[in-house]
């Protein structure tokens, strides 16, 4: 059986937190516990990052296409970019799309019509969903 990376990292976090940290004192115990917490976050994000980025990039493209019909600017293709599903490629695409979103929102916020206001609300809704999708379940902050 081949263990999944998320499971291996979660196991390492549990070992560090439950077996090693209790054997340490002071700063070292705190460091070991903090590293275990970070490994928990890594395990969670490893499992969901690609799906979250693919979905978010699709949402960004959808809003950008809607915005192109409202303000002058290039219409974004609704496809998934070049098909590269590596996290680094998905993050680069996300950054590119977010740059376009900033430009769109800047243009929309200078207008006072109902269509622009509706698109501005759609942008804010997308940003809220994006933040919510990044919430770390294992974090206590």
DSSP state of 76: P
pLDDT, position 83: 82
Share of the chain above pLDDT 90, in %: 81
State the average pLDDT over residues 44-62: 94
Distance CA 1, CA 69 (A): 52
Cβ-Cβ contacts under 8 Å for 97 (sequence gap 6 or more): 57, 60, 61, 64, 76
pLDDT, position 71: 83
Higher confidence at residue 26 or residue 80? 26
Structural domain spans, the chain: 5-133
- The structure's pTM equals 0.82
Q: For the segment 59-116, what is each residue's pLDDT rounded down to a tens digit?
A: 999 999 999 988 875 555 555 557 889 999 999 999 999 999 999 999 999 999 999 9
Q: What is the band of 139 on the pLDDT scale with cuts at 50, 70, 90?
A: low
Cβ-Cβ contacts under 8 Å for 84 (sequence gap 6 or more): 90
State the average pLDDT over residues 39-61: 94
């Amino acid at each position: 059986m081949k263990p999944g990376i998320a499971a291996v990292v979660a196991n390492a976090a549990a070992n560090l937190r439950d077996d090693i940290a209790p054997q340490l004192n002071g700063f070292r115990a705190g460091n070991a516990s903090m590293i275990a917490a970070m490994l928990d976050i890594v395990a969670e994000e490893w499992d969901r990052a690609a799906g979250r980025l693919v979905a978010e990039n699709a949402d960004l493209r959808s809003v950008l296409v809607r915005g192109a019909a409202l303000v002058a600017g290039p219409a974004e293709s609704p496809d998934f970019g070049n098909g590269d599903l590596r996290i680094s490629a998905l993050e680069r695409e996300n950054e590119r799309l977010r740059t376009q979103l900033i430009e769109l929102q800047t243009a929309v916020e200078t207008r006072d019509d109902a269509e622009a206001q509706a698109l501005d609300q759609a942008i804010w809704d997308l940003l809220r969903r994006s933040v919510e999708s990044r919430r770390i379940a294992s974090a206590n902050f």
